[in-house]
Amino acid sequence: MLLLQQMLGIDTGYEIGMEVYVYTNNYYPTPSSLFAFFDVATGTGLAGQGLDPEKWTMPAYVSDHPYMYYNPTGYITFTNETGSTVTLYGYVVANSDVSWGLWAERFDTPRVLAPGASFNLQLTAEGGLCPLPTPPPPP
């Protein structure tokens, strides 16, 4: 509930920073997945990116599933500046100090990025995503 309030811009008195990461291991997230199960991409252009709570849209319902979009007029861009080809299997959203994951989604098909190639992610939060284990409540 606290996460949803943050995404809607409701002042909770407790700030949850969020970051999105792309991951490179051939892993299928489950509701019991931990952030540590994901091999997040590293290197210039592929590191995690912070998410601004002000850029989430209000929820809309499609086929009884709530959807929220991040930055609906644009994308989050990841660029492979590592010098090697990288295969991305999905993304995971974590709190900003990476102590716990919030949700994850595996791509339908892996994204293979040659050096210098970019990938645009349209981030959504919807009822069908794989939530990760609930973190402990804030102090």
Choice between 118 and 95, residue whose per-residue pLDDT is larger: 118
SS3 of 109, please? strand
The model's pLDDT over 24-81, given as tens digits with 9 standing for 90+, comes to 999 999 888 888 999 999 888 999 998 887 787 777 777 776 777 777 667 899 999 9
Q: Taking 60 as the threshold, does the pLDDT of residue 127 lie above it?
A: no
Question: Is the Cβ–Cβ distance between 33 and 132 less than 8 Å?
Answer: yes
Looking at the chain, the whole-number percentage of residues with pLDDT higher than 70 is 73
pLDDT at 13 (0 to 100): 47
For the ranges 37-46, 91-100, 117-126, 127-136, the lowest mean pLDDT is seen at 127-136
Q: Distance between CA 25 and CA 42 in Å, rounded?
A: 12
pLDDT band at 1 (very low <50, low <70, confident <90, very high): very low
Question: Is the Cβ–Cβ distance between 8 and 125 less than 8 Å?
Answer: no
The strand pair at 124-126 and 86-95 is best described as unpaired
Six-digit token string for 110: 């892996």
C-alpha dihedral sign at 3, 5, 8, 12: negative
Report which of 104, 138, 120 is spatially closest to residue 16, judged by C-alpha positions: 138
Alpha carbon 17 to chain centroid, angstroms: 12
